[in-house]
Structure 1
Amino acid sequence: MDKLPKGLIDTHIIFRQLLKNGFQISRDGGNNLITGFNNLKTGVVIKRDSSDASVLKQILIDMEYEPVVKLLQNNNIMPDKIIDAGANIGLTTLYLKSIFPDAIVIALEPNKSTFLRMRNNFELNGCLNVISLNIGIWNSNAFLIPDNTFRDGQDWSFRLIESDSKSNQNIEVRSLESLLDEYKWDVVDFLKVDIEGAESKLFENKELVQNWLPRVKAIAIEIHDEFNCKDRILRILSEYQFQVEFCGELSVGVNQRLVKKS
């Protein structure tokens, strides 16, 4: 097994755990359909030789966002409008929609193949009011190039970087301000940010966030330590009156200007 790709090894280990816990797994080429989730209509499709199984374990088995949902509820936040930035194969959106079924979600994933699996998972589960966009988030509207060298190089580590060279692989990125304006959202109730280091650009300075951060009621960010931006991001959140708590790898901020106290 040590000669197999890491993604395939991780998938094999997680599959054994899933089967022991009563999940059903069927194969279709390089993908697998996994069923048996209590809160999903059908199940999820994952790519076998990839990080998809690890994402599934993190979101739907280990329930990474369960304490985040409890924090939202404790602050009287029942999201109607959600942005899932770095949506991967859509599992966080599926989890949030199982709890807040009437919410409108904008799910953003810049990796084309991952995006297609994400969209397929939404269709499988009959998700309504989900807007799927094959783009990334940045501090401006631009086109960037993909970088597959971050961390383990698997799909969940896919990131975008700036480059002076022109490439037919250029991928569109948008600012949160332009996205909110396009969809005429005065407020986003919950913003999830897991964008493999691009959070450093998103929070590059206090001025760059002034047109979108005050419109966010709650935010959950996975801050990647390689980019030495954690202190800066937490300082900016504090300056914009976000009260921050930590849920595992996530930094979760609640905008004290926008929440209703019970």
Structure 2
Amino acid sequence: MPRPPLARRASSLLRRGAVRALSAPLEGGEVELRLRAAMALAGRQTTHPWRFALNELLLRHGVRSYVAKRTGRRIVLRHPMSDAWVVHEVLERGAYAPPPEVAAAVRGLGRPPRVLDLGAHVGTTTLLLLETWPDASITAVEPNPHNARLLRRMIELNDLGDRVDLREVAVGVAPGEVRIAGFSILSHVERDEFETTDLWPFLRRIHGEPQAADVPRIDAFDVLADADVVKLDIEGAEWEILADPRLRDAAPRAIVLEFHWQSCPGDDAATEAARLLREAGFETGPPFDEHDGVGMLWAWRPAA
């Protein structure tokens, strides 16, 4: 029997309150507890929420596949912790929903958009981008071999081989080879800086010491040349791309950026990201989803 409207409303308000609380800035000893709770809550976005939640809360290690409620497509991830955070961020909080200016710019193309997913991880955002623009073609770039293996599996399970082109490379401002360190969403080009795993040591306790891998790097502007919409989340390696003068003449109509404090050339990552994008000819929306020196913003080319 369906629940009464008042009960449904109360349940909805409680869920929204939980999401807002778990999305607030993280401080002190509450970090691990709140992250684990957020990742368990992310299971609501799948058809097996309790199995998802228990795998997270009991710290069960392993690769699992789930059906996302909103798309009916399969996601593939590792428990516990980091992979589930992306489900929370992307599906539960809708972090990559485009603003009206971007939606209008894409409609103005008069054709299906070409989307570039830089830092595609295991493909959760890739699926959301396909939901947002169902006719889009996507180039998904992921340098971490372990992430890329799960991303390839997601593509196969959803029969998306003709829609999603996976490239297992890193991006920069020149071709070459780089060493990728870290695990899951914290994978990054190796550098001599503090990392999130240094600030939150419980991640190492749960995941163990992350393995590093040498991977090829391509010039990001070789793939930017064919993109209409770009999602850029490459854990601090974005700064050299944003500062490159070629960005002004690059093709993308819109960019959604996750900026990071690591390697930021200024004191405030949000301010610096908006400045560099405006210098490249983009208009920018307000930063959002900010926490611990990391955040997101949308940028778009002004209408002709």
Cα offset, 1:11, TM superposition: 5.8
Q: 1:61 is matched by which residue type in structure 2?
A: E
Distance across 2 between alignment mates of 1:240 and 1:88? 27
Q: Would you say 1:23 and 2:52 are equivalent positions? A: no
What is aligned with 1:199?
238
Cα offset, 1:101, TM superposition: 1.9
Q: Would you say 1:253 and 2:282 are equivalent positions? A: no
Q: Structure 1's 180 and 194: CA in aligned 2 closer, same or farther, altered over 3 A?
A: closer
Matches within 5 A, 1:50-89: 50-66=81-97, 68=98, 70-75=100-105, 76=107, 80-89=113-122
Residues 12-65 of structure 1, C-alpha deviations (whole Å, 9 max, x = no match) = 76336636x77314789811222251223x321211134111111111111111
What is aligned with 2:259?
223
* Partner of residue 161 from structure 1, selected from 190, 204, 211: 190
Cα offset, 1:180, TM superposition: 4.6
Q: Structure 1's 36 and 235: CA in aligned 2 closer, same or farther, altered over 3 A?
A: closer
Residues 43-93 of structure 1, C-alpha deviations (whole Å, 9 max, x = no match) = 212111341111111111111112x25442144456511100001111111
Which has the larger displacement, 228-237 or 171-180? 228-237
Specify which structure has the higher proportion of helix.
Answer: 2
Which has the larger displacement, 97-106 or 110-119? 97-106
Distance across 1 between alignment mates of 2:46 and 2:264? 42
**Could you state the TM-score of these two structures normalised by the residue count of structure 2?**
0.67
What is aligned with 2:70?
38
**Could you state the TM-score of these two structures normalised by the residue count of structure 1?**
0.76
Cα offset, 1:179, TM superposition: 2.7
Q: 1:199 is matched by which residue type in structure 2?
A: E
Distance across 1 between alignment mates of 2:78 and 2:165? 22
Cα offset, 1:213, TM superposition: 4.8
| Structure showing greater Rg | 2
Distance across 2 between alignment mates of 1:51 and 1:192? 19
Distance across 2 between alignment mates of 1:22 and 1:111? 25
What is aligned with 2:156?
123
Distance across 2 between alignment mates of 1:45 and 1:36? 10
For structure 2, list consecutive stretches of 5 or more residues without a partner in the other structure: 1-30, 193-211, 289-294
What is aligned with 1:171?
215
Secondary structure of the equivalent of 2:90?
Answer: helix
Q: 1:146 is matched by which residue type in structure 2?
A: I
What is aligned with 1:106?
139
> Does the CA contact (< 8 Å) of 2:46 and 2:69 recur in 1?
no
Distance across 2 between alignment mates of 1:210 and 1:36? 38
> Does the CA contact (< 8 Å) of 1:77 and 1:189 recur in 2?
no
Distance across 1 between alignment mates of 2:42 and 2:126? 23
> Does the CA contact (< 8 Å) of 1:8 and 1:48 recur in 2?
no
Distance across 1 between alignment mates of 2:156 and 2:301? 33
Distance across 1 between alignment mates of 2:155 and 2:33? 24
Which has the larger displacement, 234-243 or 95-104? 234-243
Distance across 2 between alignment mates of 1:236 and 1:61? 30
What is aligned with 2:20?
none
Secondary structure of the equivalent of 1:226?
Answer: coil
Secondary structure of the equivalent of 2:262?
Answer: helix
> Does the CA contact (< 8 Å) of 2:38 and 2:88 recur in 1?
no
Secondary structure of the equivalent of 1:44?
Answer: strand
Secondary structure of the equivalent of 2:131?
Answer: helix
> Does the CA contact (< 8 Å) of 1:7 and 1:49 recur in 2?
no
> Does the CA contact (< 8 Å) of 1:7 and 1:51 recur in 2?
no
Cα offset, 1:193, TM superposition: 0.4
Q: Structure 1's 213 and 110: CA in aligned 2 closer, same or farther, altered over 3 A?
A: farther
Secondary structure of the equivalent of 1:246?
Answer: coil
Q: 1:23 is matched by which residue type in structure 2?
A: T
Secondary structure of the equivalent of 1:119?
Answer: helix
Residues 207-253 of structure 1, C-alpha deviations (whole Å, 9 max, x = no match) = x3416753121111111123334344432321232100025221211
Cα offset, 1:8, TM superposition: 11
